[in-house]
Structure 1
């Protein structure tokens, strides 16, 4: 091997490792700015003198931002490149974290909105980055970034109160300190900005191709699967403590059950993508996810304190499987990074809108029914929708299969633009 070839191989290996670390670090920022708020809401509420309803917007606003920006993130990336779009989103995330950490209701919500918009970009584009750069390692890469995303999300929930109690940090310092993680991620990501965009005729033709996602049954199946599992998981995060309180758990023990659910989620988010990539289709995994949701929600209906840890574990496994399968569908049901980003944008827009509405709908059903039976039956119904959508999503085909059936005139029009 010549010195030039060896140097080229070393540079390629170094670039691959930098990208790998960059993807993991970007993924690590996609939950912690949100989860770090949850345990500090009471401190923020008391310090700023706001109501519980207004305080609840601190966690709901980012989900609404996800829903609004997700469809537009691929369009921005098509203009300036995925790497630059992610870099700018990290800059926006740093700004949002700093603004949110300054005392004041207006600054709190302005920063929270900016954080939501920034995270939405990473949520949508990381599957496309993986599709483009790691086409033979989609499963393990999806699993790795999902695991780190959830680990740091859990750390945000667990460390915020201890950090706020250290010295004069307060809730402002406990929220602001995560900006250091974002800054490190940005610095590690900067080498990706040196990449040259592919301007070949083939690449331009691919960029201009229209996938007609909104007319694709597969895309809608994936969207409903993403939306249903998101609604189930975020509703549990919001209401599971109250559900367990009604069974007889005290606040502390109920909190540990929510922790157990999230702990069960972490290994699942790594294992499921690796298994899914090796399977001809993913129907069995999707069905298993929906069934676990059904068993967990049905178990909570029986109000047995003894079996709650089992239901928490099953619901955590279902949540981890549902999320990681959704991320896999974005990549294995598309042909290239652009399609993956567009499908991700569509599914996450609708998915996080449902996730934001889910806790509100369940709370309303609780008020109407005077208990948790009606809300849990509603969540079981959502699980049935996840089951049906999972069967559609799990079949071995891509969103472009429908495009191949377009008329010659439609194809000609697409090529003209």
Structure 2
């Protein structure tokens, strides 16, 4: 699971530092480049809801293998370098990551039910490490391998390694096709009637919107402030690398309170502070801004995934809530990088972009206040999805 998590961000974070070179070589307009940064996030939202269906049809392990195959194929297709191949490869990458990312929380809930929150932090840490490697190595790999297309395609080797390891060591369970009268029938409709499910999904969407704006546009925004291409990529890589710390520690920190609201608000405040410093403060503070941004965003994503596990009474609900929260959340998140791309195309001042990001952070904080309460989705005696007060840790 950790090795799989390592592959769910390099395909996204490795593109942003290379956007200037991609635009120069392909002749794509700023709007087309903006669409390229939005496409994978939109695909995450469109394909994540397919994860429960693929899990029932093939088993969650085989479905995750399929996701890794699609990621590998998309990365290899980017090698062609043409605009068509670039968009098609990015679409496949987004689809594979959407399915794989939605499957992992349910697998964690099933395999490690008592330590699911801490295990979520561990594989989220691996996910953040993959993002940091993608951002930090994009420019060096392009220079070393002789072009940005090879730099993007090189990450297929890591995806192949994860696929081989997963096939060798994954747990083995049979597929469970849905039958008439199955108590899980109508589970998604039941979830959609629960405000808690929407609160988790909206939190996932707003915090992910900030994350994918950073993945897609932070180097470009920093370069507009006079920071060089290499240092802009380094700052983004540093920010993502720092996420390793908070991704692992945030679920542990959340255990100290009655609920997860204090931890969520703390990491969101760190994210907003880091973005404001990077975009609005004196550039001499840029490394402090990258540090605060990384600490905040690592904790944001780790806690958002942890909430999927904590707000679900069993692995079936965790799988459905994961598909709903990540599907709907990523579809919402796609509006973030798209909006920034449009604003840059219209030559909006960086001040306006900074205020947009503050507004998204404020919205995330409001959803965190509700999603962070100690509530849980479960089945009642008639197999209907309901919301109850979550049992205390250690109780059954």
Q: Same fold (TM over 0.5)?
A: yes
Give the Cα–Cα distance (whole angstroms) in 2 for the partners of residues 279 and 54 of structure 1.
45
Residue 51 of structure 1 corresponds to 29
Question: Contact 1:265 / 1:318 at 8 angstroms: preserved in 2?
Answer: yes
The answer to whether structure 1 residue 339 and structure 2 residue 317 are counterparts is yes
Residue 107 of structure 2 corresponds to 129
Q: Offset at 1:37?
A: 2.4
Among candidates 84, 98, 107, match of residue 120 of structure 1: 98
The answer to whether structure 1 residue 36 and structure 2 residue 14 are counterparts is yes
CA RMSD of aligned residues (A): 3.1
Give the Cα–Cα distance (whole angstroms) in 2 for the partners of residues 156 and 215 of structure 1.
39
More helix by share: 1
Residues 235 and 50 of structure 1: is their aligned pair in 2 closer, same or farther, counting only changes over 3 Å?
Answer: closer
Instruction: Give the 5 Å matches for 1:74-223.
Output: 74-166=52-144, 169-191=146-168, 195-197=172-174, 205=182, 207-208=184-185, 210=187, 212-223=190-201
Give the Cα–Cα distance (whole angstroms) in 2 for the partners of residues 255 and 361 of structure 1.
21
Residues 335 and 191 of structure 1: is their aligned pair in 2 closer, same or farther, counting only changes over 3 Å?
Answer: farther
Residue 328 of structure 1 corresponds to 306
Instruction: Give the 5 Å matches for 1:268-347.
Output: 268-277=246-255, 279-299=257-277, 303-347=281-325
Residues 199 and 166 of structure 1: is their aligned pair in 2 closer, same or farther, counting only changes over 3 Å?
Answer: closer
Q: Offset at 1:286?
A: 1.3
Question: Contact 2:12 / 2:40 at 8 angstroms: preserved in 1?
Answer: yes
Q: Offset at 1:250?
A: 5.0
Q: Offset at 1:243?
A: 4.8
Of stretches 289-298 and 266-275 in structure 1, the one that deviates more from structure 2 is: 289-298
Of stretches 266-275 and 56-65 in structure 1, the one that deviates more from structure 2 is: 56-65
Runs of 4 or more, structure 1, over 6 Å off, are: 198-201, 366-369, 408-411
Residue 13 of structure 1 corresponds to none
Unmatched tracts of structure 2, length 5 or more: 386-396
Q: Offset at 1:324?
A: 0.4
Give the Cα–Cα distance (whole angstroms) in 1 for the partners of residues 20 and 199 of structure 2.
39
SS in 2 for 1:195: coil
Question: Contact 2:133 / 2:237 at 8 angstroms: preserved in 1?
Answer: no
Question: Contact 1:366 / 1:374 at 8 angstroms: preserved in 2?
Answer: no
Residues 89 and 199 of structure 1: is their aligned pair in 2 closer, same or farther, counting only changes over 3 Å?
Answer: closer
SS in 2 for 1:218: helix
Give the Cα–Cα distance (whole angstroms) in 1 for the partners of residues 29 and 118 of structure 2.
44
The answer to whether structure 1 residue 226 and structure 2 residue 207 are counterparts is no
Question: Contact 1:293 / 1:380 at 8 angstroms: preserved in 2?
Answer: no
Residues 206 and 180 of structure 1: is their aligned pair in 2 closer, same or farther, counting only changes over 3 Å?
Answer: farther
Question: Contact 2:274 / 2:293 at 8 angstroms: preserved in 1?
Answer: yes
Of stretches 359-368 and 323-332 in structure 1, the one that deviates more from structure 2 is: 359-368
SS in 2 for 1:109: helix
The answer to whether structure 1 residue 386 and structure 2 residue 364 are counterparts is yes
Give the Cα–Cα distance (whole angstroms) in 1 for the partners of residues 192 and 4 of structure 2.
29
Residues 197 and 363 of structure 1: is their aligned pair in 2 closer, same or farther, counting only changes over 3 Å?
Answer: closer
Residues 104 and 139 of structure 1: is their aligned pair in 2 closer, same or farther, counting only changes over 3 Å?
Answer: same
Q: Offset at 1:36?
A: 2.2
Q: Offset at 1:315?
A: 2.1
Q: Offset at 1:210?
A: 1.8
Residue 391 of structure 2 corresponds to none
Residue deviations 1:57-86, cap 9 Å, x none? 333221111111111211221222111100
Give the Cα–Cα distance (whole angstroms) in 2 for the partners of residues 92 and 200 of structure 1.
23
Give the Cα–Cα distance (whole angstroms) in 2 for the partners of residues 346 and 378 of structure 1.
26
Residues 269 and 365 of structure 1: is their aligned pair in 2 closer, same or farther, counting only changes over 3 Å?
Answer: same
Q: Offset at 1:306?
A: 4.0
* Number of residue equivalences: 383
Residue 63 of structure 1 corresponds to 41
Unmatched tracts of structure 1, length 5 or more: 1-22, 412-417
Give the Cα–Cα distance (whole angstroms) in 2 for the partners of residues 145 and 409 of structure 1.
31
Question: Contact 1:221 / 1:389 at 8 angstroms: preserved in 2?
Answer: yes
SS in 2 for 1:398: strand
Q: Offset at 1:239?
A: 4.1
Question: Contact 1:32 / 1:153 at 8 angstroms: preserved in 2?
Answer: yes
Give the Cα–Cα distance (whole angstroms) in 1 for the partners of residues 46 and 147 of structure 2.
32
Question: Contact 2:128 / 2:241 at 8 angstroms: preserved in 1?
Answer: no
SS in 1 for 2:15: helix
Residue deviations 1:130-159, cap 9 Å, x none? 110011222332122112222122222222
Give the Cα–Cα distance (whole angstroms) in 2 for the partners of residues 337 and 233 of structure 1.
27
Q: Offset at 1:398?
A: 0.8
Q: Offset at 1:369?
A: 9.1
Give the Cα–Cα distance (whole angstroms) in 1 for the partners of residues 168 and 231 of structure 2.
46
SS in 2 for 1:395: coil
Give the Cα–Cα distance (whole angstroms) in 2 for the partners of residues 301 and 97 of structure 1.
31
